[in-house]
Structure 1
Amino acid sequence: MSWGFVVPWLLATGRVAGFLLALPALGGPRVPAAASAGLSLFVAASAPLESVGGLEASSFAALLLKELAVGLFLGWGVALAFVAVQVGGQVAELTLGLGSGQLVDPVHGHESTVLARLWSTLALVAYFATDTHHQALRLLGLSFDCLRPDQLPSLVPFVEAGFELFAASFLAGVQVAAPFVAASMAVETALALGARAAPQVNVFLVSLPLKVGLALVLVGAFLPHTLGGVTAIWDRTLAGVGAVLRRWP
């Protein structure tokens, strides 16, 4: 094996390792480090690589850090879909009174509220059921066509794309929670009118069980639509990351 292939392979391994480190389910802290390292080596070997020669140690270290940063950025961009789902779940819970319970999130490994955990599990199911993890790996392969390992790009596209992807993910999360927010506003309006009509009724005592009961009904009724919304978030996120890749010089 010639050094002309080993150098780009090691650089590509850095990008793949960073990508898998931030990518849910295929990497992250819940996946053994040995498994992530082995998968990074095998995936990098299948990348379209060109021979690179004449690199000094300092240049190689700079390119390796750049590759790790590119991989982390791409993995973070894909993982923003999970963030959007969690934002939607937390917004819905805050408006419907379901935000008191705390459970362990199976995706990220930290505590989250009940509805956010349910929606994160739905996002994980959609992630594998729709072959989104394969599409994420295809985006990683596309990145080698758009940005070769021996190139040092400007940081401006990274920063601009990061703001765009984050804003889009937050908006997608709010859109998923919109039906629950609208239902909560309707309940609050009805309770306010009821308090004016019957001042002797303790509105605060009635509102909590009413909102929790309505929340449980809405979660069950909107579950198929929520799954469709989660799938749409995945499609939109991957399309956004792909558009960012195609804009790179």
Structure 2
Amino acid sequence: MVINFDVTWLYALILTTTRIGIVLFALFHAGGIKLPWLIKGILAITLGFILLPFVDQSVQLDHLKITFLTLLLIKEVILGILLATGIYFVFGAINLAGRVIDTQTGINAMAAFDPHSQSMSGFTTQLLRLLALAVFFFTNQHHNLLYMLAFSLQKLNPLQFYEINITHAVQFLPNVFLFGIRIAAPVIALIFIGDIIFGLLSKTMPQLNVYFLTLPIKILLGLMLLICLLPSLTNLNIDILGSLVDFWQSILS
């Protein structure tokens, strides 16, 4: 009895799972989603099986050496890291906005230890990150993520070498941080106006301890403004997450 095993299918599964796994791990890490490594691995392999039909397996690899297959694997790792960079930049812009708001309003004074990042994290930083995750799933951005993964497998076959358009990606990434500035800009403007008012107040009333007076007022103003801006922040988060698709398209084009 002879059993014929298609080695091309196995190589395609390994390479596809590598690309998808790196992207998933980046999404979980940047978004603060805590899952055991075993669950992450099972999820990556499952998605590899699901998206495997999008890979053109007409390439025959039986005659290839293990060194060539190793190069294919390294190539998939590099592409996966490049795609994951967009995820880190998107959530990095959100974290940047949260840290700026925490610093300007003084909310850092009640910062709590974040077990995910193993560091002190402010209230606004965690709030914006959770809001981004909620927007990501409730607006079906994860569907766009799966669509782009399938498109990448069709556009850039894991079983072959290909060229990656890095020029447009490098030019696009700094623009993501403009979204973070747009999130923090209203709070920064309000706190700046408050600092001018309290500066004038300290000149007219030198005996007043302005620092201890302004600290709770800044926190209150910052929180009130964040509450008022939540609808617009939701729309802005949709734009930020949508820019991730544009970033991937610039790489795959």
The TM tier, using the shorter chain, reads: 0.7 to 0.9
- Deviation readout 1:55-74 (Å, 9 max, x if unpaired): 21011011112112212321
User: Counterpart in 2 of 1:24?
Assistant: 28
Structure 2 CA distance for partners of 1:232 and 1:104, relative to 1, 3 Å: farther
- Taking the TM superposition and a 5 Å limit, the aligned residue runs for 1:39-54 are 39-45=43-49, 46-47=51-52, 48-51=54-57, 52=59, 53=61, 54=63
Structure 1 consecutive aligned stretches of length 4 or more whose deviation exceeds 6 Å: 25-29
d(CA) in 2 for partners of 1:27, 1:206: 36
Moved more, 127-136 or 141-150: 141-150
Q: 1:8 aligns with which of 7, 12, 15?
A: 12
Equivalent-residue separation in structure 2 for 1:69 and 1:207 (angstroms): 49
CA separation in 1, counterparts of 2:30 and 2:210?
48
CA contact (8 A) 1:88 1:177 kept: yes
**1:172 equivalent in alignment to 2:179:** yes
Given the alignment, which residue of 231, 235, 238 partners 2:245?
Answer: 238
How far the C-alpha of 1:165 sits from its partner, in A, is: 4.7
Instruction: Give me the TM-score of the superposition, normalised by structure 2.
Output: 0.85
Kept in 2: contact 1:107–1:124 (CA 8 A):
no
Contact 1:126–1:231, Cα closer than 8 Å, also in 2: yes
Residue 125 of structure 1, aligned match among 134, 137, 144 = 134
Q: CA RMSD in A?
A: 2.6
Give 3-state SS (helix, strand or coil) of 2:121's partner.
strand
- Mapped contact 1:165–1:240 kept (Cα < 8 A): yes
Amino acid at match of 1:17: G
Q: CA offset at residue 220 of structure 1?
A: 1.8
Q: Which runs of 5+ in 1 are unaligned?
A: none
1:113 is displaced (CA, Å) by 1.0
> Residue 204 and residue 114 in structure 1: after superposition, are their counterparts in 2 closer, same or farther (change >3 A)?
same
1:181 matched to 2:188: yes
In 1, Cα distance between equivalents of 2:194 and 2:31: 42
Q: Distance in 2 between matches of 1:29 and 1:181?
A: 29
Matched residues, percent identical?
A: 26
Instruction: State the Cα distance separating 1:225 from its structure 2 match.
Output: 2.0
Alignment of 1:95-174 (within 5 A): 95-105=104-114, 111-153=120-162, 157-158=165-166, 160=167, 163-174=170-181
Q: SS where residue 28 of structure 2 aligns? A: coil
Q: Secondary structure at the match of 2:108?
A: coil
Is contact 1:20–1:26 with CA below 8 Å preserved after alignment?
no
Deviates most, 124-133 or 167-176: 167-176
* Secondary structure of the corresponding residue to residue 109 of structure 2: coil
How does 1:34-113 map onto structure 2 within 5 Å?
34-45=38-49, 46-47=51-52, 48-51=54-57, 52=59, 53=61, 54-105=63-114, 111-113=120-122
Deviation for aligned residue 1:183: 0.4
Say whether 1:198 aligns with 2:205: yes
CA distance in 1 between counterparts of 2:32 and 2:208 reads: 51
Deviates more, 1:144-153 or 1:175-184: 144-153
Q: What's the CA shift string for 1:127-183, capped at 9, x where partnerless?
A: 11011112111111111222211333457x44x455445412322111111100000
Q: One-letter code of the match for 2:97?
A: G
Task: Point out where structure 2 has 5 or more consecutive residues left out of the alignment.
Answer: none
TM-score (norm 1): 0.86
Deviations, residues 39-68 of structure 1 (Å, cap 9, x unaligned): 222322323122331321011011112112
